[in-house]
Chain A
Amino acid sequence: MHSVFASPVARRKATVIALAALFCAPALAFEIDVGNPDIEMRWDNTLRYNLGGRAQKQNPAILLAPNNDDGDRNFSNGSLVTNRLDILSEFDFVWQKSYGARVSAALWYDNAYGSLDNTFAATANTLVNGLPAPGVLSPYSKRYLKGPSGEWLDAFGFANWEMLGMQWNVKAGQHTVYWGDSLLLGGAVHGVSYAQNSLDLMKGFGTPGAEAKELFRPKGGITLQTQATKDLSIAGQWFYNWQAVRVPESGSYLTASDAAQFGADSLVFGANPFAAAFPGAPAFTRFWNQQAVAPSRYSASLGDWGISARYSPDWLDGTLGVYFRNATDILPQTVLIPGFASLPAATCTAIGGIPVTPTACIINRNATSVADLTQKGKVGEYRTAYGDNIHILGVTLSKSIGGVSVGAEFSYRQNMPLLSDPVQALPTPLVNAAAGQISINDLSANGTPGALGDTYHGILNGLWIMSKTPFFDSASFAAELTWMHWIKVTQNAAVFKGRDSYTGIDKPSRDFIGLAFNITPTWFQVWPGVDLLAPISYSRGMNGNAAVFLGGNENAGNYAVGIAADIYSKYRVDLKYTGYMGDYSTNPATGAATTFNGVFGSLSDRGWVSLTFKTTF
């Protein structure tokens, strides 16, 4: 794959060929006929091409935030932020309508990441040979942001059969099954399905038009479902592997934090006291990321599992679901492993450290060395940690009320990771337990040392279609209200951002309410063969800050407005403006943004315009 895109000429040709394919693709779906009526095979390819440009000026306050500026600096106002070709290829094989397999893969290439505008080395988080390198992507970021690259998505076998008078269905392999009745992203975070599958937020934030089936990241496991009676269906699943959420990686236009997640090389810490004595050393000290690749397992247990029962009696005219799941988190908490501290030389030697100067001590030889500290400003390491053994107990109801398809969920979680400050792992003598620090010896490869707690979550959503009015021929509405309430902290309350002594702008409130909606009015046959749509979406935290990561924050959210054309029921063109909103607190002396209230705060100057072509053949 690499050789094809090696030269600029070849690259341009490839884009042109792909574009030509978009408009000359055959009319019918690709059903492969082998002449055997028992065998059904189909192979579908969805091509999506995204061209996007920045439409909002860089916000100086965000540029001054050392761990949030790289993505901002990489793309100046008016520059191309995405020039990306995505291909989703899906292959199904079905035998006797009951047994078969499905394999799908995603491929991508984004030329906009070929050249980045950032030249500000001081706060660059990417490291080359340990020194900050602006406008450069780490290999992990480069793979997912630029490509050309690809990955397997679904890869599973399935079977349907009748046994004991019941209908059974099993799926084994890498697949996605999504429980509950949540609709939009907020629902995915607060629903019974939380962490059932990982989410691809990189695609979700950055590639408008990505189908939900691309955003749910398939996970390896076995799901068994049975239709026990006409009204009752029962399901159980067990996963043998796990995956962290995929975020816009460090260096992406939509990076929420330059230090996250696996494509990030470092976390900028503070002014480098050794900079004067060692020319060439960076102006700021950094913690280095321990993880260069995504970990593949994160739980000591045998794996995540869940059971559900869904009951649809005639008298209810709807479906009632009950679920219990044991999950490993997909969203991270942070662990800092300081390697350097200001300690008198005597204390330093006493705890087994290396005195560098009479007041500077290397407290953890694994977290930094004299050379790295003095010449490269490395003061320690960090990594992400994911809570395991999260228990989720939930109840859902879906029912049609007055023509609206209504979904409602209520769930209770235990061991749920709560929004926390990074936890410091230090040599035992230096640990201040009251501040939530832990001993480096106690740092486990599983679970997280951060704050955990018990929470309640709720969702209420509705889906409905309005028929013709003087303004449109048809319009679809989807709206979702999310709520959460944190009950108590059961681990490391000292780092929980909801503790009394924390005063940051992102302090969680006891309750949080968020709202999101999508409205898509449609006009049919505006020109022969062409339907017009005007999709609008809006999402915002209405009241309070959620106590879980990505749960939502007051006044934070995103929106998009656009127009789209659906041509011959086959091609789709969208022109869209996407914007983000969120608050942040500033340092009055420097004007720099210091704390962001939620993920979207640091993206609030990233408004952009995109043109998307999409077709399936």
Chain B
Amino acid sequence: MFHKTLVALAFASLAAPALAAVSADEAKQLGTTLTPLGAEKAANKEGTIPEYTGGLKEIPASYKKGSGIRPSPFEAEKPRLVVDGKNAAQQADKLTEGTKELLKRYPNSMRLDVYPTQRVIALPAKVLANTAKNAVGTKSVNGGLGVENMLAGIPFPIPKTGNEAMWNHLVRYPGVAYVQKYENWNVDSAGVPTLATAGTLTNEFPLFDPKRPDGAAKESDPFWKIKVLYTGPARRAGEALMVIDSVNPIVQGRRAWQYLPGQRRVKLAPDLSYDTPNAGTAGTSTYSDAFVFNGAMDRFDWKLVGKKEMYVPYNGYKLMYAKDLKPALTPNHVNPDFMRWELHRVWVVEATLKPGQRDLYSKRVYFLDEDSWAALAADQYDAKGQLYRSTLANLTYSYDANAVNIDNYTFHDFSSGSYSVVGASGMSDGIRYADPLPELQWSSESLAGSGIR
């Protein structure tokens, strides 16, 4: 590995290397033909995707200020189109492989209620301003595995590579910090739902902390900190884990710790990353599948394939904030009554396993929302090239915090016929945006201090 110093960076724009930042001319599109985050501003030809007019303007009246539960701004809407087994073939080019597979396997129960497209995302002004600066200043380094000279905003609003697009997803502005009580449920192939884990998670994105001095992130700066305290199932109550990811995983790899009540000790968590089965979903998905994708990209080659219009879950307030999740956990797939689909333009990023690398997945295809850069879906293939697992992220826009949230997603395992609903929060008090925790609370030893068990 080699490091570029800040001095070297100053000359970067003059030297214009192949994977350099974007040219000033290109960057001028941001705010004109492109939105500040790099999405196409205009509506599409058919009018099914409207023009971007700055995002959601009004917080719904039914929202109680300070509450963690967010009602949908579009309660009254009705679906404009239903895609089911009968017309799936006609809509095939707008469906992810995973969605197609579900329609094929369960033509009698699976359907997509497609609602009018609502381009709600409106990130804070500071984030947008930094994004404009990042457009010309930020560079991907170490073959796209790390980011340099990133201010607190989207790093690559005009990405040139698959890696750069995925960095936009990793740094998507989910807020500064929030606390969420969630439940993860698995529904097995016989249709029986089981609570995989329940817990409280604290998510922080230190780069966006307003108290942090303005300036580019250093290579070892953390951009994501997460702490999870399990409260269920009963035998896991008291377990905790903590993960800290930095801006350049080659320079500073993931740090992870686990607190096991059985041992009353904080232990370095062996590889809570890559394709290690995620205990939080009882092994039905891997750690890198959380939040559709997280972690280092070094095992794969990432290609930015292009843009497509696709039906994706969007504005999924009903499932995310469902007070009672049971009715949604129907056999084979989530109850279609709980899902809201919309037509959006998405970036398609394809990852293929590098030769010589080992991973559970040989190919992973991601679909990133143009308006927020959050990954909305993923199709993943096994070593034989067959569709193995798919993710459908239930994006909601936290209008009171101007933040994107994809913590709630559905994960399908086509080889076992089971699926999971991860990160649902309606049964408790939803997502509360808060001040970041003091630094001391992010030390590994602090995991033990909070442990009563």
Specify which chain A residues have a CB less than 8 angstroms from the CB of B284 in the assembled complex.
524-525
B77 within 8 A of A: no
Residue B400 CB within 8 A of the other chain:
no
A29 to B276, CA, bound (A): 26
Tell me whether B269 and A405 are in contact (CB under 8 A).
yes
Q: How far is the CA of A592 from the CA of B232 in the complex (A)?
A: 53
Binds A, one of B109-117, B121-129, B191-199, B371-379: B191-199
Q: Are B282 and A524 in contact (CB under 8 A)?
A: yes
The verdict on A345 contacting chain B, using a C-beta distance below 8 Å, is no
Is there an interface contact between B450 and A464, defined as CB atoms closer than 8 Å? no
B67 within 8 A of A: no
Q: In the assembled complex, how far is the CB of residue B176 from the closest CB belonging to chain A, in whole angstroms? A: 19
Chain A-chain B contacts (Cβ-Cβ < 8 Å), number = 159
A176 touches which one: B189, B234, B264 (CB < 8 A)? B264
Q: Which chain B residue has the least Cβ–Cβ distance from A404?
A: B270
* CB-CB nearest in chain B for A211: B262
Q: Could you tell me the distance in whole angstroms from the C-beta of A247 to the nearest C-beta in chain B?
A: 22
Q: Is the CB of B195 within 8 A of A28?
A: yes
**Interface assignment of B265: CB less than 8 Å from any CB of chain A:** yes
A158 engages B452 (CB within 8 Å): yes
Could you say which of A28, A158, A231 has the most chain B C-beta atoms within 10 Å of its C-beta?
A28
B231 at the binding interface (Cβ < 8 Å): yes
Are A400 and B188 in contact, with the CB atoms below 8 A?
no
Interface size class of B (residues with CB under 8 A): 35 or more
Cβ of A583 to closest chain B Cβ, rounded Å: 32
Complex interface: chain A residues within 8 A of B198 (CB):
28-29
The interface bits of chain A over 567-605 (1 if a CB of B lies within 8 angstroms of the residue's CB, else 0) are 011100000000000000000000000000000000000
Find B446's partner among A44, A227, A465 (CB 8 Å cutoff).
Answer: A227
CB of B277 within 8 A of CB of A31, answer: no
> When the two chains form their complex, are residues A531 and B283 in contact, meaning their CB atoms are under 8 A apart?
yes
Q: B1 on the interface (CB 8 Å rule)?
A: no
* Bound-complex Cα distance A568 to B234 (A): 12
Interface check B410, CB cutoff 8 A: no
Interface string of B433-446 (1 = CB under 8 A from A): 00000011111111
Which one, B186, B255, B277, contacts A473 given CB within 8 A? B277
CA distance A166 to B443 in the complex (A): 12
Query: Does B271 make an interface contact (CB < 8 A)?
Result: yes
Does A252 count as interface, using CB distance less than 8 angstroms? no
Structural contact, B444 and A312, CB atoms closer than 8 A: yes
Q: Does B445 lie within 8 Å of A403, measured CB to CB? A: no
A528 to B109, CA, bound (A): 20
Within B411-453, the residues touching A (CB, 8 Å) are 413, 416, 418, 439-446, 448-450, 452-453
Asked if B233 is an interface residue, CB under 8 A from chain A, the answer is yes
Interface code A207-226, partner B: CB below 8 Å = 1, 0 otherwise?
00001110010000000010
Q: Are B262 and A213 in contact (CB under 8 A)?
A: yes
Instruction: Judge if A57 is at the interface, Cβ distance under 8 Å.
Output: no
Which of A462-489 touch B at CB < 8 Å?
463-465, 467-468, 473-474
Q: Complex: how many Å from CA A399 to CA B268?
A: 7
Number of interface residues of A (CB under 8 A): 65
Asked if A233 is an interface residue, CB under 8 A from chain B, the answer is: yes
Indicate if B14 sits at the interface (CB-CB under 8 A): no
B268, A403: Cβ atoms closer than 8 Å: no
Contact with A along B194-211 (1 / 0, CB 8 A): 111010000000000000
- Please name the residue on chain A nearest to B232 by beta carbon: A29
Contacts of A312 in B (CB 8 A): 443-445
CA distance A473 to B188 in the complex (A): 17
A178 on interface, CB distance cutoff 8 Å: yes
Distance of A387 Cα from B425 Cα, bound (Å): 55
- A27, A29, A531: the one contacting B237 at CB < 8 Å is A29
Q: Which of B270, B283, B360 has the most CB of A within 10 A?
A: B270
Shortest Cβ distance from B277 into A: residue: A474
CA distance A216 to B264 in the complex (A): 10
A463 touches B276 (CB 8 A): no
B235 adjacent to chain A (CB < 8 Å): yes
Assuming the contacts A29-B234, A44-B237, A473-B277, asked whether A403 and B270 have C-beta atoms less than 8 A apart, the reply is yes
Is the C-beta of A314 less than 8 angstroms from some C-beta in chain B?
yes
Given contacts A405-B270, A617-B234, contact A233 B263 (CB under 8 A): no
Cβ of A379 to closest chain B Cβ, rounded Å: 45
Chain B residues closer than 8 Å to A468, beta-carbon distance: 275, 277, 360
Inter-chain contacts of A569 with B (CB < 8 A): 186, 194-196, 233, 282
Q: A398 and B268: CB pair below 8 A?
A: yes
Q: Mark B326-363, 1 if CB is under 8 A from A, else 0.
A: 00000000000000000000000000000000001000
Contact with B along A138-174 (1 / 0, CB 8 A): 0000000000000000000010100000110100000
Residue contact B443 to A233, C-beta cutoff 8 Å: yes
Known A27-B195, A92-B452, A568-B192; contact A474-B283, beta-carbon cutoff 8 A: yes
Q: Which of A90, A230, A465, A615 contacts B276 (CB 8 A)?
A: A465
Bound together, the chains give a CA A177 to CA B261 distance in angstroms of 11
A225 contact set on B, CB distance < 8 A: 445, 448-449
Measured in the bound complex, the distance between the Cα atoms of B284 and A242 in whole Å is 45
Which residues of chain B are near A568, meaning CB under 8 Å? Answer: 192, 194
- What CA separation (Å) do A463 and B192 show in the bound complex? 33
Q: Mark A7-23, 1 if CB is under 8 A from B, else 0.
A: 00000000000000000
Contacts of A400 in B (CB 8 A): 255-256, 268, 270
Interface residues of A in 95-137 (CB under 8 A from B): 100, 102
Contact A473 B452 (CB under 8 A): no
Judge whether B418 and A528 touch: CB under 8 Å: yes
Which chain A residues border B192 with CB–CB below 8 Å?
528-529, 568
The complex places the Cα of A178 from the Cα of B360 at a distance, in Å, of: 37
Q: Assess whether B265 is in contact with A178, with CB atoms less than 8 Å apart.
A: yes
Which chain A residues border B261 with CB–CB below 8 Å? 213
Q: Are B286 and A92 in contact (CB under 8 A)?
A: no
Decide: B270 and A160 in contact? CB cutoff 8 A: no
Are A467 and B276 in touch, CB under 8 angstroms? yes
Decide if A356 is an interface residue (CB 8 Å cutoff).
no
Chain A residues, CB < 8 A from B445 = 225, 227, 233, 310, 312, 319
A42→B277 contact, CB < 8 A:
no
CA distance A28 to B234 in the complex (A): 7
Neighbouring A residues of B413 by C-beta, 8 Å: 525
With contacts A31-B231, A522-B283 known, is A314 near B220, CB below 8 A?
yes
CB distance from B444 to the nearest CB of A (A): 6
A230: contacting residue among B231, B282, B439, CB under 8 A: B439
Residues of B within 8 A of A237 (CB): none
Bound Cα distance from A42 to B234, whole angstroms: 10
- Chain B residues with Cβ below 8 Å from A406 are 268
A405 to B273, CA, bound (A): 13
B440–A318 contact, CB under 8 A? no
Once the chains are docked, how many angstroms separate the CA of A615 from the CA of B189? 23
Task: Assess whether B8 is interfacial by the CB under 8 Å rule.
Answer: no
Q: Which one, B443, B450, B453, contacts A160 given CB within 8 A? A: B450
Q: Tell me whether B440 and A230 are in contact (CB under 8 A).
A: yes
How far does the alpha carbon of A91 sit from the alpha carbon of B273 in the complex, in Å? 33
Report the separation of the CA atoms of residues A169 and B198 in the bound assembly, to the nearest whole angstrom.
Answer: 26
Whether B167 sits at the interface, judged by CB under 8 Å, is: no
Could you give 20 example pairs across A and B, Cβ below 8 Å?
A28-B195, A46-B234, A167-B446, A177-B264, A216-B264, A225-B445, A227-B440, A229-B440, A231-B443, A312-B443, A464-B271, A465-B270, A465-B271, A467-B274, A473-B277, A474-B277, A524-B282, A525-B189, A528-B189, A616-B233
Give 10 nearest A-B pairs by CB, closest first: A528-B188, A616-B235, A528-B190, A405-B268, A616-B234, A233-B445, A29-B234, A212-B262, A524-B283, A464-B270
Chain A residues with CB under 8 Å of chain B are 27-31, 42, 44, 46, 90, 92, 94, 100, 102, 158, 160, 166-167, 169, 176-178, 181, 211-213, 216, 225, 227, 229-231, 233, 310, 312, 314, 317-319, 398-400, 403-407, 463-465, 467-468, 473-474, 522, 524-525, 528-529, 531, 568-570, 615-617
Q: A28-B234, A233-B445, A398-B267 are in contact. List 17 more A-B contacts (CB 8 A).
A: A28-B198, A29-B233, A92-B453, A167-B441, A177-B264, A181-B267, A211-B262, A227-B443, A400-B255, A405-B268, A407-B267, A464-B271, A528-B418, A569-B195, A569-B282, A570-B194, A617-B234
